[in-house]
């Protein structure tokens, strides 16, 4: 049925949630604003600048665009320190095994991630070799739930959306898939979104639905 599979990165192929949390927490602490795990949850699938806006929701002092950019850059410097420590051992064996099998079955594989650090994470973890196309947060005009990042991935694979399956953990990502005309496989939070095509309890169940 499908010829290509488009994977979200954070929360699907690797777990970077803790790193995002710790990096944002340092920014929130400097500004003396409340930031907790529940709020961190809302940042899944959301771009860096939109994440900052969520963190600044209850901040009463007005910030200029330049100040916001500086804060986002500072967060990214902290975040990159964590990413520097990543290696193959941060990826579950089941992820490598599943991607190996998908390659054996001749699927075209792409990344569809909101992150501007996707290339760096893929290099550090040894995941990069599996992918025929990488569509990430660089040069993206509209982030999920807009379908742009997935449409660009499908286009890079030279496939129509109907020929691709999107694998996602975030609600915004499942909605983006729906908006772009893609079938979707939800993991974690992604399973609870109305309209998701398949619900995966474990990553390797992907092999049963393609």
| 144 close to 45: Cβ distance less than 8 angstroms | yes
Per-residue tokens: 95:
């992820």
- Residue 46 binds to ligand BG6 (criterion: CB under 6 A): yes
Exactly one of 6, 12, 14, 43 binds ligand BG6 (CB under 6 A); that residue is: 43
Under rule CB under 6 A, how many of the chain's residues touch ligand BG6?
18
For residues 191-208, one letter each, b for 16 or more C-beta atoms within 10 angstroms of the residue's C-beta and e for the rest, the string is: bebeebebebeebeebee
DSSP state of 162: G
User: Radius of gyration (Cα) for the chain, nearest Å?
Assistant: 17
- Contact pattern from residue 66 through residue 85 relative to ligand BG6, giving x for each residue in contact according to CB under 6 A and a dash for the rest: ----------x---------
| 176 close to 146: Cβ distance less than 8 angstroms | yes
Cα–Cα distances in angstroms (integers) from residue 208 to residues 5, 6, 89, 101, 170, in the given order: 13, 16, 25, 11, 21
- Residue 45 binds to ligand BG6 (criterion: CB under 6 A): yes
Per the annotation, the verdict on 132 as an active-site residue is: no
Instruction: Give the separation between CA 58 and CA 144, rounded to whole angstroms.
Output: 23
Per the annotation, the verdict on 93 as an active-site residue is: no
Could you say which of 8, 136, 156, 189 is catalytic? 8
Q: Which stretch binds Mg ion (CB under 5 A): 59-67, 142-150, 170-178, 189-197?
A: 170-178
Q: Residues in the site for ligand BG6, rule: CB under 6 A? A: 9-11, 20, 43-48, 51, 76, 113-117, 137
Positions at the binding site: 8-10, 24, 43-48, 51, 75, 113-117, 144, 168-169
Give the active site residues: 8, 10
Q: Residues in the site for Mg ion, rule: CB under 5 A? A: 8, 10-11, 169-170
């Amino acid at each position: 049925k499908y010829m290509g599979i488009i994977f979200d990165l954070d929360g699907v192929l690797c777990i970077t949630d803790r790193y995002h949390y710790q990096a944002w927490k340092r920014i929130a602490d400097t500004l003396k604003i409340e930031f907790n795990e529940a709020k961190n949850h809302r940042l899944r699938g959301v771009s860096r600048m939109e994440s900052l806006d969520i963190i600044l929701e209850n901040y009463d002092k007005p910030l200029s665009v330049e100040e916001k950019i500086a804060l986002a850059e500072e967060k990214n410097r902290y975040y990159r320190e964590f990413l520097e420590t990543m290696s193959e051992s941060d990826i579950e064996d089941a992820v490598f095994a599943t991607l190996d099998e998908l390659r054996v079955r001749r699927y075209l594989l792409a990344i569809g991630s909101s992150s501007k650090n996707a290339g760096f994470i893929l290099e550090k973890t040894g995941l990069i070799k599996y992918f025929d196309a990488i569509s990430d947060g660089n040069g993206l005009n509209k982030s999920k739930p807009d379908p742009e990042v997935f449409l660009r991935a499908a286009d890079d694979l030279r496939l129509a959306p109907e020929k691709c399956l999107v694998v996602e953990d975030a609600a915004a990502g499942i909605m983006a898939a729906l908006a772009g005309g893609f079938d979707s496989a939800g993991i974690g939070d992604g399973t609870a979104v109305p309209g998701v095509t398949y619900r995966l309890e474990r990553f390797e169940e992907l092999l049963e639905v393609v």
